[in-house]
Amino acid sequence: MTDLGYVALVLAFVLAIFGVLASIIGARRALPELVASGRNAVLVVSGLVLFASALLWRALLTDEFQLEFVVTHTERNLPALYKFSALWGGQAGSLTFWTLILCGFGVAAIWFMRNQPPSFMPYVNAVLLATVWFFLLVILSTENPFVRLWRMPTGQIVTSVFQPATATGIFPADGQGLNPQLQNYWMIIHPIFLYLGFVGMTIPFGFAVAALATGNLGNTWIKLVRKWALVPWLFLSLGILLGSQWAYLELGWGGYWAWDPVENASLLPWLTATAFVHSIMIQERRGMLKVWNVVLIWLTWELTLFGTFLTRSGVVESVHSFALSPLGPMFAGFIVLTLVGFAALLIVRLPLLRSENQLDAVLSRETAFLTQNVVFLLILFATLLGTLFQPISEWVTGNKVALNAPYFNQVNGPIFAGLLILMGAAPLLAWRRSAPETLRRNFTIPAAAGLLILPVAWLLGDRTMAGFIGFSIVTFVLAGLIQEYVHGVRARMHSTSEPLPAALANLVRRNGRRYGGYIVHFGVLLVALGIIGNEFYQSEGQANLRPGESITVANYTLTYRGLNATQGPNYTEFTAPMTLTRAGRPAGEIAPKKHIYNKNQDQPMTEVGLRPGLVEDVYVVLAGFEGGGATASFKVYVNPLMSWMWVGGLVLILGVLVSAPGPAPGRAGRDVPPQPQMPARRRRLGRSQCN
């Protein structure tokens, strides 16, 4: 059966390139039959990739250890859920899963766009199939999940899909097991969300290519692409937060983000995607920032490829990365090829991307959004420089010099603080020009709240300058958001005489895009609150304890009660229960653990003991033990406000659900419907209607 999976991928590879050619030729020559063939190619390729993926999942779940991928990533005693997630736990399987998700987005685009003007979809399909074709090329040439193990007469073990001459099959009794770091429930869902975010950016990028190819660069493509950008942005945001939760619970160092190169690889496209979903509002309302919008979604897509390249090429070292693989040069070549191709198309279409209006004043919402774009790119540049500094320094000087967390915190921290200020200020500014009276009316309460929090924090005993600034910024932004809701509800109550609850509900329902966006901003503030608490107010301590001895950190005392050992399905679990008291009062128990995996005994994994709370988390790590638990080493952290980071993720979901269906804001200016394409031989590229 697994041979059929390989055949399905080969067929998908051939049909993908056919679909690319059919879609482009059909669109340029106005041949609906070829356009339909390209659309059908997306559906058939998706079915073939799904079939191959299902066969690979079947092989993982049924222990078909004759496949190299199965034997190196599972074992008989591995729980079924982790066998299922092993698909994205290894290089070949993760690329197959990536391709499957990409096909899923393609099918969704065809379905949801079936009633829209057809001029864009052939190019979207072509971009999607070209990307699928590349990933299938990588899978079939370097990372094939269907290769089997064979033994030659000389005793040499080789891998091949089909049996080499004179070789005999190898059927190991058991597999090598899954990487212990991946045997955690967060690593089941975190990669899924991250892949949905990365891969989903292909669709809005495809619309950008379609807009450039057709010359329809007004608001039509922006209106179509908004939801297709917002949904993967949400997935990417949640993927980053879920990865932070995994790092918080599994790595046992008391933090959630270490500026690891692979962590940064997920942040880079998030920065440009966030700038894009804000920037398109300016084009919709004022017909401005057209070049910005095209470039931002282009960079976002390229950065998703770049992140995949970093994770798999071995260019940087990371606890998160896959094993070194020859696919690095292939990804680098594809990135360069797409960069050059899109840049050429963009240059040709630049005359059609002229802004319909100019900035009228410095103190305007348009200027705030443009400044946000610049700030996002500053963070992008600083993060990219820090991430690549080690390989660059090695290439230039021959010595590896890495920039670690202190660099990122000192450089990016203040820039992110400025970004939060802009996030709070932009909604308070008027479009085109903010009169002095508008500034006074909109900024007085938020600014006063941001300043008044400082003496309150001082009276509560806070003497941390960075924390002062952080809480002041968060309070300023929060007060501005509340003020926006209050003004909107009051205006609606005055015009409709609705009671307050009905006025609030109808305000959000009828203006979902605006007020849903404010909910998203509130979620970001909650995430910022967790970051401030962990970074500036964390308390920690460590001790070697015998049963009955205690350690005190902040106002918590933890007493060690001894070590217990239990057998799991494929590991031994060592638990060190501790009694917890707060200010002398009983506060329950906490139980840090160690897992020693049967197949990876040299890689014990930490399972932190956690007592979460809205005010602070108590976080305990069993660092080691001797004499069967006669002595044990513990690290204890008290992390204020960390729970709000995860609550912020839930608020983000709510905000996107509210804002996604919202209508586009009105604007002066016009949008020309897509014009039918003339045959290529009769059409000059520069004569398309300017939108």
**Per-residue confidence at 523, pLDDT binned at 50, 70, 90?**
very high
Question: Which tokens belong to 499?
Answer: 């009671």
- Domain end position, chosen among 114, 142, 176: 176
Q: Which of 110, 370, 282 is nearest to 664 (CA)?
A: 282
Question: Which tokens belong to 113?
Answer: 């766009």
634: in domain: yes
**Per-residue confidence at 166, pLDDT binned at 50, 70, 90?**
confident
Q: State yes or no: pLDDT of 467 exceeds 50.
A: yes
Q: State yes or no: pLDDT of 687 exceeds 70.
A: no
Return the pLDDT at 235.
96
- Domain count for the chain, please give it: 2
Q: State yes or no: pLDDT of 691 exceeds 60.
A: no
Q: State yes or no: pLDDT of 48 exceeds 60.
A: yes
The dihedral region occupied by 166, where left means phi > 0, alpha psi between -120 and 50, and beta the remainder, is left
Dihedral of the CA atoms 183, 187, 192, 198 (nearest 10)? -130
Return the pLDDT at 581.
95
DSSP 50-114: HHHHHHHHHHHHTT-TTBHHHHHH--TTS-HHHHHHGGGTSHHHHHHHHHHHHHHHHHHHHHHTT
Cα 688 to chain centroid distance, Å, stands at 37
Average pLDDT score over residue span 509-522: 92
139: in domain: yes
- Domain end position, chosen among 124, 153, 176: 176
Q: State yes or no: pLDDT of 317 exceeds 70.
A: no
**Considering Cα of 54, then 266, then 391, then 603, what sign does the dihedral take?**
negative
Q: State yes or no: pLDDT of 662 exceeds 70.
A: no
Average pLDDT score over residue span 160-181: 90
Return the pLDDT at 458.
79
Average pLDDT score over residue span 671-685: 37
Question: Which tokens belong to 142?
Answer: 């370097």
Average pLDDT score over residue span 209-225: 91
**Per-residue confidence at 316, pLDDT binned at 50, 70, 90?**
low
Percentage with pLDDT > 70 across the chain: 93
Average pLDDT score over residue span 391-414: 87
Are 37 and 192 a contacting pair, CB within 8 Å? no
Average pLDDT score over residue span 262-269: 92
Average pLDDT score over residue span 465-483: 93
Please report where in the chains the tokens 């240059």 appear, as a residue. Answer: 347
Q: State yes or no: pLDDT of 666 exceeds 70.
A: no
Please report where in the chains the tokens 């910024």 appear, as a residue. Answer: 473
Query: Cβ–Cβ contacts within 10 Å for residue 523, how many?
Result: 23
Q: What is the pLDDT of residues 273-301, one digit of tens each?
A: 999 999 999 998 888 899 999 999 999 99
Q: State yes or no: pLDDT of 576 exceeds 90.
A: yes
- Domain end position, chosen among 176, 211, 226: 176
**Per-residue confidence at 660, pLDDT binned at 50, 70, 90?**
confident
Which residue range forms the structural domain that includes residue 150? Answer: 1-176
Return the pLDDT at 315.
62
**Per-residue confidence at 356, pLDDT binned at 50, 70, 90?**
confident
262: in domain: no
Cα 226 to chain centroid distance, Å, stands at 17
Task: Give the bridge partners for 625, in sequence order.
Answer: 632
Are 194 and 262 a contacting pair, CB within 8 Å? no
Question: Which tokens belong to 667?
Answer: 């604007």
What is the three-class DSSP state of 252?
coil
Q: State yes or no: pLDDT of 154 exceeds 90.
A: no
19: in domain: yes
548: in domain: yes
Q: How far apart are CA 637 and CA 540, in angstroms?
A: 4
Q: What is the pLDDT of residues 172-183, one digit of tens each?
A: 999 999 999 899
Q: State yes or no: pLDDT of 670 exceeds 70.
A: no
609: in domain: yes
- H-helix or E-strand spanning residue 160: strand 157-160
Average pLDDT score over residue span 561-575: 95
394: in domain: no
Q: Which of 466, 459, 610 is nearest to 528 (CA)?
A: 466
- Tell me how far apart the terminal alpha carbons of the chain are, to the nearest angstrom: 53
Return the pLDDT at 674.
38
Q: State yes or no: pLDDT of 651 exceeds 90.
A: yes
Q: State yes or no: pLDDT of 673 exceeds 50.
A: no
**Residues 204, 137, 75: CA angle, nearest 5 degrees:** 100
The mean of the pLDDT values for the chain is 89
Q: What is the pLDDT of residues 407-447, one digit of tens each?
A: 999 999 999 999 999 999 999 999 888 888 989 999 999 99
Q: How far apart are CA 290 and CA 219, in angstroms?
A: 9
406: in domain: no
**Per-residue confidence at 460, pLDDT binned at 50, 70, 90?**
low
Average pLDDT score over residue span 158-179: 90
